[in-house]
Each structure stands twice: as structure tokens, then as C-alpha cells.
Structure 1
Amino acid sequence: MRKTVSAFAAAALLALGATTAAIAQSASYSGPSTAPKAAASGVYSGPSTVPLMTVKQLLDTGKDDQHARLQGRIVSHDGGEHYTFEDATGRITMEIDDKKFPAGQTVSAEQRVELLGELDKGLRKTEFEVDRMALLP
């Protein structure tokens, strides 16, 4: 009985580990990465009244929970849902859920994207939480 319970517990831990690894991956970003990959979904691509800003403008004048649109490139995957985004004015850390990547499309480090989201400005870190992503031509 004890061996059966131990074997069951070991199998459950292996399954949990595989599930955790799958969650930490992003199948939609193909640029540089320090972590593995996972899945994606579709996005809205119509007009928006949220202002288009540069990374520099957002970092210099942005307020916590401020909505903004950014255009540039996701230049690296930094693990989990964390990415580095870059435009001509600078870089910012992004939090992008795998579901925010365009369904069935891969986003490379060379692909220009438009991101809609909000600034999360804290005492120790500042990052942009992405609500929507669209590929740019």
C-alpha cells in the first residue's frame, strides 16, 4: 500500500511539473528568451481613443494605472509573462499574458507591434501590463 501511494504521489508531482512548465511558456513569441514557450488567442484591431505614446513619454510623465498605446518591438522574453519592449526612445518591461498574443501567429523580435495597456508604476518597479496586442505591417 505504501509503495502504491508513493508511486501515485510521484506521478502527480511529475504531472504538476509538466503543467507548470507548459504554463510558463509562450508559443507566440519567437525572439530571444530566457524561458520556455506556450499558447495564444485573437485580438481587437479597430480604432482606439487611448493615446499613442513613446516609452520615454510613458516613463517620464505616466501615472500609475494610466492607459496608453505603444508601438515598437518586443525584443526579449524575460521569463513567465515578462518581456522587454523597445521603441526608438527606450525600453520598458512588459507583462503579457500568453492569451494576448495574436492567435495562430508568431511574434518575432523584428515584428513591429502595437500594445494597448496600462502602466503599473510602483515603488520598486515600473512595467506596462498589456491588455491587447496587434501586429503592425
Structure 2
Amino acid sequence: MKPLFIFAVLTLASFQLHAQYKGPQAAVQQQIKAILDNPKDNQGVRLTGYLTEKLSHEKYWFSDGTHQIRVEIEPEDFPAGEFDENDLIEIHGEVEKDFLESPEIDVEYITIKKIN
């Protein structure tokens, strides 16, 4: 009985448990239309396009050329270099969807892709 017990313990010890990560995922390249059609609060996003207009302190319109979405950008989240509405940028952030409001993106950082 003792050898059988040792065999069982060694056999079970050799099996590895494979846990999977269930935390936040890396931001996936998105289209603005997909976010507007099905906004998911706190969803990580990466969008490429243009800041087209400043709406207020920290609020802007961001466009991919077809659709636009409101974004919130704090001063410290802007890149060191200057850019304008003609320069292609990539924003990384999270979707904010409040009850009875249009979704917006809370920008975490911006990468300048192409300066015209």
C-alpha cells in the first residue's frame, strides 16, 4: 500500500496547474464607430486619428476621418512635442460611459504618428 501511495503522490505532483490571466488586457486598436455602437465602460482602447477641436479645458473632439468621439486629455498626458489638427496621432486610454451620456475616451497618453 505504501508504494501505491507514493506512486499516487508523485503522479499528482507531476501535473501542472495552468492558470490564466484575468486582469486588464492590453489596449486593442479600435474604430470609433465600434466604440460608439457598443461602449464598454473601462475598456482599454487605442485609436489613430486627429484632434480636431478643443471643446473646453481638457475636452476635445477626436476623429478617425469618418466618426468622432469626445476625449478627455489632462495636460500631463500630452506628448512633449507640439502637434495640431493636421497631425496623425495615436491615443491610448479607456472608454468612459456614464448613464444617459455619450461615451468618451479618458486618454492616458498620446503618441505622435506623423507630423504634416
Scaled by the length of structure 2, what TM-score is found?
0.72
* C-alpha contact (below 8 Å) 1:74/1:84 kept by paired residues: yes
CA RMSD of aligned residues (A): 1.5
Tell me, yes or no, if structure 1 residue 76 matches structure 2 residue 53. Answer: yes
In the alignment, which of 88, 106, 111 is matched to residue 129 of structure 1?
A: 106
Runs of 4+, deviation exceeding 2 Å: none
Structure (1 or 2) with the greater helix fraction: 1
Q: What letter is aligned with 2:58?
A: E
Map residues 10-25 of structure 1 onto 2, 5 A cutoff: none
Aligned equivalents of 1:88, 1:81: Cα separation in 2: 21
Scaled by the length of structure 1, what TM-score is found?
0.61
Tell me, yes or no, if structure 1 residue 116 matches structure 2 residue 100. Answer: no
Q: What letter is aligned with 1:123?
A: F
Which whole-Å deviations, capped at 9, do the CAs of 1:102-121 have from their partners, x for residues lacking one?
A: 11x21201011100000001
2:108 is paired with a residue whose SS is strand
Structure (1 or 2) with the greater strand fraction: 2
Aligned equivalents of 2:79, 2:100: Cα separation in 1: 31
2:86 is paired with a residue whose SS is coil
In the alignment, which of 11, 26, 34 is matched to residue 57 of structure 1?
A: 34
Identify unmatched segments of 5+ residues in structure 1: 1-47
Is the radius of gyration larger for structure 1 or structure 2?
A: 2
Aligned equivalents of 2:75, 2:83: Cα separation in 1: 12
Q: How many residues align?
A: 89
